Structures are given as C-alpha cells and as structure tokens.
Amino acid sequence: MLIIGIDYHPSFQQIAFLDQETGEYDERRLNHSDGEAERFYRELKQRGVSVRVGMEATGYSRWFERLLAELGFEVWIGDAAEISRQRVRKQKTDREDARLLLRLLRENRFPRIWVPSPENRDLRQLLWHRHRLVQMRTRIMNQLQAVAMNEGCRWKKKLFSEKGRALLEKLSLAPWASRRRKELLELLDQLDPKIAELTTAVEQEAKKRPEVLLLMTHPGVGSITGLAYILVIGTPERFPCGKQIGSYTGLIPCEDSSAGRQRLGHISKQGNTLLRFLLVEAAQAAARCNPNWRRRYLHLMMRREKKNCQGGHGQETGGSVVLDVAKQLAIFTVG
C-alpha cells in the first residue's frame, strides 16, 4: 500500500508518500489548476496501486475527496486540532506538515474523524442557503424599519402587514430615500417566495426521517432545527452520553482553571454555527411557549440573579440563560 500525507491548500497540495512494500519515500508539490494533482492520482489508479490518503479537515476540498472516492482510494480525514498538538518542532512548513501526517499514518496515531456522506453535505447546503436568505431578508426589513422610524413611524411588526406596507409606500421621502425604499421592497418581494420554497423543501426532507419527526415532538424544535440536528450529529453512537453533544455543538463554557481555582468563561463556540444558532432559537421558543421549560428558565434567572433587562448586566445574564436552556435541549434530544 502507498501511504500519502497531504498538506492541502486551495491551489496546491504538498505530499509526502511511502511505499510500504519497497520502502520508497518521496515528496512532491502538486498544483490543482493545471490538473497535475488529478493526473498523479489517476496514474496511481492505472498502475493498480492501493492508496491510503491522510489529510486535515479543511475547506475547498470537496472536488478532491470526490476524485479519491471515484478512484477507490481510502481517504482519512483528521482532526486539525489533534494533529497540531502532535507537532513537536516549532518550524512549521508545508513539507513538515505533510511529513507529520505521513508519520501519524505510519504509526497508527492518525486522529481520524467522522465524515458526513455526500447526501448529508448536500442537504446541509439546503439549510445554509435558506439560513443566508433569511439573514438577507432580516437586514432588508431592518433597513425598512429605519426608513419608517426616520419619518416618525414606529410600527414594529405591523410595518410588514398589508396595511403597514401601504402606509410605508405613501410616506413622502426625498428622491434617493424613495428609491432606497422602492428597491428594498422589491428585494423583499423576491426573497419571500424563495424562502417559502426552501422551507417547504426542508419540511419534505424532515418528513422522510423518523428521527427528525421524533425530535419535533420536543417543545421548540421544528423541522428546520430537527433536520439540522440529525445532519450535524450524524451517527449518535459516536457520543457515549448526551453531555458530549453540548461540547460538540460548542455550548459548554471555556475553562482556564489552575491551583484549585475554577475559571469559566464564555461558551466555546466550537462546532457547527448553524446548529448552535438553531438550538438557541429552539430554547427561546421552548421557554416562551412551554410551561415546563418556562419554569426552568425562571429558575435559571433566579440562580443567576437576572436584573432588569434594561441594564447591560441584565442583558448579558439573560443571554447566558438562553444558552443554558439550549444546552439542556441538546442533552435532552440525544438522551
């Protein structure tokens, strides 16, 4: 078998490889744009060489992973943080990184991680696309609110009702402000049907999965949150207990404890940002609509001595309470 350690970059890759039968070792730099990397691996396939590839988890490598899967090569994706901890020397170069990956493969110390399937990744694109469009719509709506408030009209949600929109369109504005209002409304009209179409697609995908339907029985969890949870968590058997889900989604506090003194900071935010965002939204909905979770929310407020929300400290404490509820939601859903 030929073992290859790859330090992957968007435009090129530095490789170090070893033939286990002959002991032959070599290093190369393969460019992507001119097809040099693809030709190298296709030549190995034509020679009938069995190949195992090890590389760090990184972005912009989907095409390369598809190529290796097409050729039937074994691909191991490693935890970048764990690999970095294995680095002893302070000299960090592309060649040294490739050598390190090769050494970890040879010594059976490569920190391999779970990799989602192509279908899983494609469905994540559906969720991300909808999420980004919703963010764009929110920014547009905020700008329209600003236009109305500058004219002395503070209508909040009523601004986007049929009556509120008619009043907004009747406001007498200066030429450029009028053009801004018009084009923002046009963008809003374009985004609404697209978001509705994507939401319908998410709901259809959620109905195909019994585990998503089970999660939707939990207060605050809808089709979007449930589908994102299943796609990101993947195989639940990877986690021995529910508390590890909170760590995986980045909802546990950072810690810098020493000499018997515990120091906890903000949440780590290590993990999928979309899932964490949706879990916080689910926690807010559960605390607002469900009496049982409302009691838990109030209990956390009393424990953290939440003050008037008009003050800065009160806002910070209230936010941490919602994150606590979100973490409990994550633990509950896997347990």
pLDDT in tens, 215-257: 888 888 899 999 999 999 888 888 887 778 888 888 888 888 8
Say which amino acid occupies 44: L
Of the candidate ranges 36-40, 253-257, 299-303, 318-322, the one whose mean pLDDT is the lowest: 318-322
Are the CB atoms for 246 and 326 separated by under 8 Å?
Answer: no
b or e along 3-13 (b: 16 or more beta carbons within 10 Å of the residue's beta carbon)? Answer: bbbbbbeeebb
Residue 250 pLDDT: 85
Residue 260 pLDDT: 83
DSSP codes joined into one string, 162-207 = HHHHHHHHHS---HHHHHHHHHHHHHHHHHHHHHHHHHHHHHHHHH
Residue 316 pLDDT: 42
Residue 308 pLDDT: 41
Residue 325 pLDDT: 57
- Six-digit token pair at 188? 């809003």
pLDDT band at residue 318, thresholds of 50, 70 and 90? very low
Residue 243 pLDDT: 76
How crowded is the C-beta side of 218, counted as CA atoms within 13 Å? 24
Q: Highest mean pLDDT: which of 80-89, 203-212, 286-295?
A: 203-212
Between CA 227 and CA 285 the distance in angstroms is 17
List, for residues 267-313, the tens digit of each pLDDT value. Answer: 888 888 999 899 888 888 888 888 888 888 888 777 766 554 433 34
Helix (H) or strand (E) holding 122: helix 118-150
Between CA 314 and CA 299 the distance in angstroms is 15
Are the CB atoms for 95 and 116 separated by under 8 Å?
Answer: no
Counts of helices then strands in the chain (DSSP H, E):
13, 7
List, for residues 124-133, the tens digit of each pLDDT value. Answer: 999 999 999 9
Residue 44 pLDDT: 93
pLDDT band at residue 69, thresholds of 50, 70 and 90? very high
Q: 3-class SS at 74? A: strand
Residue 329 pLDDT: 60
- Six-digit token pair at 117? 């399937």
Residue 101 pLDDT: 95
Average pLDDT over residues 180-196: 96
Residue 314 pLDDT: 40
Mean pLDDT of all residues in the chain? 87
End-to-end CA distance of the chain: 41
- Six-digit token pair at 262? 């515990």
Helix axes 36-46, 62-71, angle to 10 degrees: 20
Residue 315 pLDDT: 40
Between CA 268 and CA 14 the distance in angstroms is 32
Tally of residues, the chain: 335
Between CA 315 and CA 167 the distance in angstroms is 33
List, for residues 134-166, the tens digit of each pLDDT value. Answer: 999 999 999 999 999 998 888 888 999 999 999
